[in-house]
Structure 1
Amino acid sequence: MDRARRIALVRSTESIQAADRLPSNKGRASRVHALIDAFGLDAHMEIVAPEPMSDSGLAVFHSEEYIARIFAATDGGYPSSNGQEDGKENGTDEELGLEQFGLVHDCAVFDGLEEHVRYAAGGTVAGADALVRGRADVAIHWEGGRHHCRPAKAAGFCYINDVVLGILALQTRFGRILYIDLDLHHGDGVQSAFQYSDRVMTLSIHHYDRGFYPNSGRNYDEGKGRGAGRSINVPLRRGAGDDTFFRAFSGVTTSILTTFAPAVVVVQCGCDGLAGDPHKVFNLTTDAFTKSVTTVLGWGLPTLLLGGGGYSRPDCARCWTRLTGVACGRDIPAATDVPEHRFLGEFAPAFDMASDAMLMNDENDDEAVDSAVRAIQQILHSQSQ
Structure 2
Amino acid sequence: MDQARQVTLVRSAQSIQAADRLPSNKGRASRVHALIDAFGLNTHMEIVAPEPMPDSSLMEFHSEEYIACLFAAANGTCLSHTSQDYDKDNGIDEELELEQFGLVHDCAVFSGMEEHVRYAAGGTVAGANALVRGSTDVAIHWEGGRHHCRRGKAAGFCYINDVVLGILALQTRFRRILYVDFDLHHGDGVQSAFQYSDRVMTLSIHHHDRGFYPNSGGSYDEGKGRGIGHSINIPLRRGADDDTFLRVFSAVSTSILATFAPLAVAVQCGCDGLAGDPHKVFNLTTEAFARSVKTVLGWRLPTLLLGGGGYNLPDSARCWTRLTGVACGRDIPAAADVPGHRFLDEYSPAFDMATDATSMFNANDGETIDAAALAIKHILESQSR
State the TM bucket, normalised to the shorter chain: over 0.9
Residue 242 of structure 1 is matched in structure 2 by: 242
Report the Cα distance in structure 1 between the residues aligned to 2:165 and 2:382, rounded to whole angstroms: 30
Residue 351 of structure 1 is matched in structure 2 by: 351
Residue 300 of structure 1 is matched in structure 2 by: 300
Q: Superposition pairs for residues 20-31 of structure 1, below 5 Å? A: 20-31=20-31
Residue 252 of structure 2 is matched in structure 1 by: 252
Q: Superposition pairs for residues 116-135 of structure 1, below 5 Å? A: 116-135=116-135
Aligned length: 383
Q: CA RMSD in A?
A: 1.6
Q: Which amino acid aligns with 1:147?
A: H
How far is the alpha carbon of 1:384 from its aligned partner? 1.0
Question: What SS is found at the alignment partner of 2:36?
Answer: helix
Deviations 1:159-216 (A, max 9, x none): 0000000000000000100000000000000000000000000000000000000000
Report the Cα distance in structure 2 between the residues aligned to 1:150 and 1:116, rounded to whole angstroms: 17
Q: Superposition pairs for residues 193-342 of structure 1, below 5 Å? A: 193-342=193-342
Contact conserved, 2:297 with 2:303, CA < 8 A, in 1? yes
Contact conserved, 2:267 with 2:304, CA < 8 A, in 1? yes
Report the Cα distance in structure 1 between the residues aligned to 2:230 and 2:80, rounded to whole angstroms: 40
TM-score (structure 2 length as normaliser): 0.97
Report the Cα distance in structure 2 between the residues aligned to 1:344 and 1:144, rounded to whole angstroms: 25
Contact conserved, 2:176 with 2:262, CA < 8 A, in 1? yes
Residue 101 of structure 1 is matched in structure 2 by: 101
Report the Cα distance in structure 1 between the residues aligned to 2:349 and 2:3, rounded to whole angstroms: 40
Contact conserved, 1:78 with 1:85, CA < 8 A, in 2? no
How far is the alpha carbon of 1:251 from its aligned partner? 0.5
Residue 362 of structure 2 is matched in structure 1 by: 362
Report the Cα distance in structure 1 between the residues aligned to 2:85 and 2:42, rounded to whole angstroms: 45
How far is the alpha carbon of 1:3 from its aligned partner? 6.7
Deviations 1:269-317 (A, max 9, x none): 0000000000000000000000000000001001000000000000000
Deviations 1:305-363 (A, max 9, x none): 00000000000000000000000000100110000000000001110000000110000
Residue 144 of structure 2 is matched in structure 1 by: 144
Q: Which amino acid aligns with 2:38?
A: A
Residue 45 of structure 2 is matched in structure 1 by: 45
Report the Cα distance in structure 2 between the residues aligned to 1:84 and 1:27, rounded to whole angstroms: 40
How far is the alpha carbon of 1:84 from its aligned partner? 7.4
How far is the alpha carbon of 1:258 from its aligned partner? 0.5
Contact conserved, 1:79 with 1:85, CA < 8 A, in 2? no
Q: Which amino acid aligns with 2:140?
A: I
Report the Cα distance in structure 2 between the residues aligned to 1:125 and 1:298, rounded to whole angstroms: 23
Report the Cα distance in structure 1 between the residues aligned to 2:30 and 2:80, rounded to whole angstroms: 37
Deviations 1:8-66 (A, max 9, x none): 00000000000000000000000000000000000000000000000000000000000
Report the Cα distance in structure 1 between the residues aligned to 2:171 and 2:163, rounded to whole angstroms: 12
Question: What SS is found at the alignment partner of 1:80?
Answer: helix
Return 5+ residue gaps in structure 2 as ranges: none
Are residues 335 and 319 of structure 1, via their aligned partners in 2, closer, same or farther at CA, if it must alter by over 3 Å? same
Q: Which amino acid aligns with 1:35?
A: L
Contact conserved, 1:8 with 1:127, CA < 8 A, in 2? yes
Q: Which amino acid aligns with 2:131?
A: L
Q: Percent identity?
A: 79
Residue 67 of structure 1 is matched in structure 2 by: 67
How far is the alpha carbon of 1:83 from its aligned partner? 3.1
Question: What SS is found at the alignment partner of 2:184?
Answer: coil
Q: Which amino acid aligns with 1:262?
A: P
Report the Cα distance in structure 1 between the residues aligned to 2:68 and 2:95, rounded to whole angstroms: 16
Q: Which amino acid aligns with 2:132?
A: V
Return 5+ residue gaps in structure 1 as ranges: none
Question: What SS is found at the alignment partner of 1:164?
Answer: helix
Contact conserved, 1:77 with 1:85, CA < 8 A, in 2? no
How far is the alpha carbon of 1:79 from its aligned partner? 2.8
Q: Which amino acid aligns with 1:366?
A: G
Q: Which amino acid aligns with 2:369?
A: V
Question: What SS is found at the alignment partner of 2:248?
Answer: helix
Report the Cα distance in structure 2 between the residues aligned to 1:21 and 1:59, rounded to whole angstroms: 23
Deviations 1:144-173 (A, max 9, x none): 000000000000000000000000000000
Report the Cα distance in structure 2 between the residues aligned to 1:120 and 1:93, rounded to whole angstroms: 29
TM-score (structure 1 length as normaliser): 0.97
